[in-house]
Structure 1
Amino acid sequence: MHTLLSQVLRDCDQNALWIADENSKTLLVSGIQFAGKLLSNRWDVVRAAEALGISARFNDFELASSGEKYSRIVYPVSKEKAAVHHVINSAVETLLDGGELLLLGEKSSGIKTYAQKAAARLGCVKQLQKHGNDYLSINRLYEANTGAALDDSNYTSLRQPDALGGLWSKPGLFGWNKIDVGSALLASELREFLPTDKNTEVRIVDLGCGYGYLSAQAVALATAPEQLHIRASDNNAAAILTCRENFQALNIHGSVSAGDAGSEIESSSADFLICNPPFHQGFQVEGDLTERFLQQAARILRAGGQALFVVNEFIPVSRKAEGIFQKVEPLSREKGFCVYRLSK
């Protein structure tokens, strides 16, 4: 995919928009040539683009937010159908008449189906080229012929799925409409670490917060919730939107900010840290993500601070945390996940 994407990007002029996901970071780190602008829902991807001098925006695939029109939009299709449908629909609003939407993907990404849907939406004939194991779908916008909008599950709308017990979420987040099994296991261990003294403030960091489930659980379980100050951080734009909504709805004292594994949070600023680090294919290009979260957690915690981590049971946290934390204690193991208490 990277070879084909590199070729397409090099052929773009200044009036092109590249919609980049987490897998695009490798190209940016290697110094890709691209004259246009970038939009990503990943904070670290936007920072990597800016380091190369590329004009970049961080948001939840809000293509029309700048008011600009483009002659070409380049989009390696996302894993989530709702996001892909949303981008295809948005391309109709943000392309110049006659402009191109280029979709890229492997066969397993659903690219053949998306090529057909994009052609119908933009009012053009389907064009799908095979490049080795990858496919390129070329779709030219004909405003007079545009078809019906695709079902994007109301991608931009926040909602309260039944499974979340009143919390807000939306498509664009991994597991957006359910409670993660690992997070629920970590939450079951939270109570004994929360303050009981109504005169002592405790500063908590929720690292990789998602829509804010663990922050909400900390407030719900605390004897003195008014003494909690929670700093939540995530790399995903949809997570920032939904977590902020939940902080406001629950009147949680604290803040929500974008960052790469907590990179924007001050050192030695937290008494307690909670984390369910992401683990999926998109991060493998960056090496060991769990270890990076552990290192950042140790930096953020004050001396004597503690962290609760939940990870897949096959991840050797005890070994990875060696030399980073003074003490690593397994607390529980259930349904393929383990919770660890880490002491600085």
Structure 2
Amino acid sequence: MYPNVNWIDEVYKKNSMLTNANINITGGGESMKYYISGSYYNQTGPYKVRNLNNYNPNLDFKRYDFRSNVDVNLSKTTSVQLNLTGMLVNSRYPGIGAGDLWYLAYATTPVAYPIQYPDGKWAGPLSGGGANPLNEVQNNGYSSEFKPIVQSVLTINQKLDAITEGLSAYARFSFDSYGEFNNRRSGKNDLWQATGRTPEGEFIFNQSRVGQQFLDYSKESFGQRVMYLEGNLNYDRTFNDHKIGGMFLYNMRNRLVSLAGDVVGSIPYRNQSLAGRINYGFRDKYLVEVNAGYTGSENFEKGNKFGLFPSASAGWVISMKIFLSL
């Protein structure tokens, strides 16, 4: 009848477990180099909850990471790079947010009501009179999340000095996939408030909330995949006092939402562009550069999807003057 509850101590543990393990392997020689790493991360919840009602609502966060980088020299002029990254996240959260729970534990008065009565009934206020912080985290349900993430990049580099000195090219392809799958189980339990005692000393209860027998179920999922393609032709050569360079680039990015909620959202997002650059330098003192980009996006209407964006610049490196270098 006369409680005195330290809600912070009753809701939160003094400490919780965190585990982090990593392994890294590197090696190779002139023809091939590799780097492989893996890690495991696990954080358990800080709440003083139990495995009641056939579920544990405490926080549990697990993450598995994998990375592999391989560089292979196929010849003196050709090299291949393959980078792979994978991450799996498996987590569980209580049915109340961490910020809301902290506010309840901090703001609820210690003398409002006990956590539970001796017969096991959970205590709670009448409607609109606040909340029992420990009950909110223990009996409010839980949510589980699974997030698989895969990223990959393949690059081929080719020197083309056999055609002309200073010429090179590369091609790059990447594929990324991201998914998120959430399952939520939510519900309310019975709450009671003692209003007095019988002549025999037993509590007199008023039921302040009628709960539900089974938890509600809801789900949410999201996924997308992104493909990127890039090709580059580059020229860079010096003739005595003259330095000449050029670049031609093509790229394309395609993003598709796998679990879109409507027809419009399922349409792929696509960007394409062509870009070119010519630059000239004389004794690293006088510089001229001309650029042009032809870029397009599916966001614009037919006939206006692409645009040309030219630019030009000239420079004079004043620090190369003789009187400044003395």
- Specify the TM-score bucket, using the shorter chain as the normaliser: under 0.3
Task: Report which of the two has the higher share of strand.
Answer: 2
Which structure has the greater CA radius of gyration? 2
With normalisation by structure 2, the TM-score equals 0.18
Task: Report which of the two has the higher share of helix.
Answer: 1
